[in-house]
Amino acid sequence: MLTPIAYGLAILLDLMILFIGCRFLLAPRPAAAGYGVPAKADGDPAYLTVKGLRDGAYGLVGLALLAFAGARAEAWFMLMVAVVPLGDTIVVLRNGGTKAVAFGIHFATAVLVLACAALLFVL
């Protein structure tokens, strides 16, 4: 029973981060607003593209690890990659974003990623 839940959650998280990456590439300003720190109208769009590429790559790597290397490799990946939403929490807080977004989205994502890693480690 635990195996389908762990795999399902891992696939869902990987697909979600892939979606976020695609959103930053295709609609960068709305994606930045959803991130919690709206992009400045005269800002450098390259940074939004970098975020899209980073997130998209993380999603693809996670899916590839799960498909070709297995649950343990995915668990280690998720354990390491949890630092990204933790860092995003700090970025939002330090740049005028709300605590609700910082903790309700980014910190909660980090906790969910760590929980998924834990589930995958016990398989």
88-117 tens-digit pLDDT = 999 999 999 999 999 999 999 999 999 999
How far are the Cα atoms of 29, 40, 50, 81, 106 from residue 46, in angstroms, in the given order? 12, 12, 6, 22, 22
Rounded to 5 degrees, φ, ψ at 22 are -65, -40
For the chain, the farthest-separated pair of C-alpha atoms sits apart, in whole angstroms, at: 51
Report the domain count for the chain.
1
Q: Identify the domain containing residue 38 by its residue range.
A: 2-121
What's the pLDDT tens digit per position in 10-35? 999 999 999 999 999 999 999 999 99
CA distance 75 to 6: 10
What's the pTM value of the predicted model, to 2 decimals? 0.94
